[in-house]
Amino acid sequence: MRLLIFSIFICLAYAKIREISVFKSENNVLDTGFNDGKGYRPNWRDLDKRPLPEWYDRAKIGIFLHWGVYAVPSFGSEWFWMNWKTNVTKYVNFMDKNYPPNFTYQQFAPMFTAEFFDPAAWAQLFAEAGAKYLVLTSKHHEGFTLFPSKRSFSWNAVDVGPKRDLVGELSAAVRKRGLKFGVYHSLYEWFNPIYLQDRNASFETHTFVDTKLWPDLKQIIHDYKPSVIWSDGDWEAPDDYWRSTDLLAWLYNNSPVREEVVVNDRWGKDIPGHHGDFFNHADRFNPGKLLDHKWENAFTVDKVSWGYRRNMKIGEIMSDSQLLFQVVSTVSCGGNALINVGPTKEGTIIPVFQERLLFLGKWLAINGEAIYDSSPWFSQNDTVNGKVWYTCTKENYNATHPTYPPTANDKILAIYAIALEWPKDNWLTLGDITSYLHRGTYQVELLGNKGVYLTWKISNGKVAIQLPDKATVRSKVAWTLKFTLK
């Protein structure tokens, strides 16, 4: 009898402890799904053990879209509202000059018309660009949602502006083209009074997180099943304010996307670069060397802004060669490239962005075998020729440690050297691959010129490879040599 009472007591105590790792959302309890030793516990040590879902490392190339009410003024950047309200001169002047005195940011929303938004055409563009996934801003710091949030009355794309579920339509369209669909989601909202209340309480209350943030994200996850959650706007508060580990445990254990979802690293102050399936670190992060964790270089074709700006100048837009430098150096170092463009309020992607993306797609159609499903090789950036970056492909490629150099167990199928500059005399000099070519067991060809084997000469630890006549070469801007065993 005493034993029985004791065990009942233990059970009750256990149930009480469990409650702590579980939190309540609007309509139901968000159970982290950790149960009886199964699943991930809501702590970073446990969450960090999760293997990276394979598709993500294989994909390498994604498209990022920053689309919201800021596309209406389309001036400065997607930080328009904040910059204006904090009296940054150029924004104040822009408003004084072009809008009546009492004009509010909310009044921009009906002008976000998206009348030309054609999700199938966008999806075709992204597929032709060679992208394998798309990340769309479901909500930026302004709080406007591109899906019908049940908690963002009259501040979402179905109630005002486009009068369409932009997340729903685009997710369906890109999936039809075989791309994975992901969402960017800003944790904080600049001017949300409930968030500001929590902030005023030194983040000791979690009302915003419990009644807005996680219910909205759950709505997104249930309705659109995103393969990427690209979190942002985390930096004002620690991860325990956001209840990040609870959300992630639920996401990994219990959510409908638990098999294939990947998340980035922006889950609270000091978390970036430490936790998450892949690391973004800072924006436009590109370390130029191997890292020991999967990472992603998120960068923007308009070098000044993530959101669309009507007054862009051509010199502020990445050139084809700058774009390829980012893609090639990133993939060589084990990263993915997430390439951002800002659509217009009318729902178009302007021709100069289309042109850059289609250029990339044409380059990948020839050189893609050095990019997709590739792994880092022993050397990343050639030590003699700094314009050359290496990748390789492996038999039994597995993405468990996607950013490591090859090990003794790896069978390398091909080594690729991608040159970002064509040598004036047609002889490409390399250092790091020289010892492989001594043996006479390798053959070298240029992607796009299949079956044409190139000759080389070795001296002083360097190899000079004779390239074909440039007029016969299909790639522009960057060229890939493929080294295989004969």
Task: Using CB under 6 A, list all residues that contact ligand JFZ.
Answer: 78-79, 232, 272, 282-283, 298, 306
Residue 192: CB minimum distance to ligand JFZ, A: 16
For the bound state, the minimum distance from the C-beta of residue 265 to ligand JFZ, rounded and expressed in Å, comes to: 9
- Whole-number Å distance between alpha carbons of 464 and 51: 41
In the complex with ligand JFZ, the residue whose CB is nearer, 282 or 471, is 282
Q: Provide the minimum distance between the beta carbon of 196 and ligand JFZ in the complex, in angstroms, as a whole number.
A: 18
The residue (of 147 and 279) whose beta carbon lies closer to ligand JFZ is 279
69-87: b (≥16 Cβ within 10 Å) or e: bbbbbbbbbbbbbbbbeee
The token pair at 189 is 């909202």
Q: Which CB atom, from 146 or from 418, has the smaller least distance to ligand JFZ?
A: 146
**How many angstroms separate the CA atoms of 195 and 207, rounded?**
8
> Residue 449 CA to chain centroid, in angstroms?
32
Cβ 280 to ligand JFZ shortest distance, Å: 7
Nearer to ligand JFZ, 126 or 285 (CB): 285
How far apart CA 104 and CA 483 sit, in angstroms, is 60
Pick between residue 169 and residue 232 the one whose CB is nearest to ligand JFZ.
232
Measured from the CB atom, the residue of 331 and 338 that comes closer to ligand JFZ is 338
Nearest approach, Cβ of residue 404 and ligand JFZ (Å): 25
Residue closer to ligand JFZ by CB (options 48, 283) is 283
| Shortest Å distance, C-beta 272 to ligand JFZ | 6
CB of 273 to ligand JFZ, least distance (A): 9
Residue nearest to ligand JFZ (CB): 282
**Taking the complex as a whole, how short is the minimal distance between the CB of residue 295 and ligand JFZ, in angstroms?**
13
Q: How far is the CB of 359 from ligand JFZ (least distance, A)?
A: 23
Three-class HEC string of the chain = CHHHHHHHHHHHHHHHHHHHCCEECCCCEECCCCECCECCCCCHHHHCCCCCCHHHHHHCEEEEECCCHHHCCCCCCCCHHHHHHCCCHHHHHHHHHHCCCCCCHHHHHHHCCCCCCCHHHHHHHHHHCCCCEEEEEEECCCCCECCCCCCCCCCECCCCCCCCCHHHHHHHHHHHCCCEEEEEEECCCCCCHHHHHHHHCCCCCCHHHHHHHHHHHHHHHHHHCCCEEEEECCCCCCHHHHCHHHHHHHHHHCCCCCCCCEECCCCCCCCCCCCCCCECCCCCCCCCCCCCCCEEEEEECECCCCCCCCCCCHHHECCHHHHHHHHHHHHHCCEEEEEEECCCCCCCCCHHHHHHHHHHHHHHHHHHHHCCCCECCCCCECCCCCCEEEEEEECCCCCCCCCCCCCCCCCEEEEEEEECCCCCCCEEEECCCHHHHHCCCEEEEECCCCCCECCEEEECCEEEEECCCHHHCCCCCCEEEEEEEC
Give how far the C-alpha of residue 306 lies from the chain's centroid of Cα atoms, to the nearest Å: 13
Find tokens 């446990």 and name the residue: 46
Least distance between ligand JFZ and beta carbon 231 (Å): 10
Closest approach, Cβ 309 to ligand JFZ, in A, equals 13
Closer CB to ligand JFZ, 190 or 397, in the complex: 190
Q: How far is the CB of 113 from ligand JFZ (least distance, A)?
A: 23
Closer residue to ligand JFZ (CB): 231 or 385: 231
Indicate the residue among 318 and 444 with the shorter CB distance to ligand JFZ.
Answer: 318
Distance CA(469)–CA(479), nearest Å, equals 13
Whose Cβ is closer to ligand JFZ: residue 279's or residue 479's?
279
Q: Which lies closer to ligand JFZ via its Cβ, residue 299 or residue 479?
A: 299
Which residues lie across from 446 on neighbouring strands? 481
For the CB of residue 137, give the shortest distance to ligand JFZ in the complex, in Å.
Answer: 7
Identity of the residue, 86 or 472, whose beta carbon is nearer to ligand JFZ in the bound complex: 86
**Residues β-bridged to residue 296:** 336
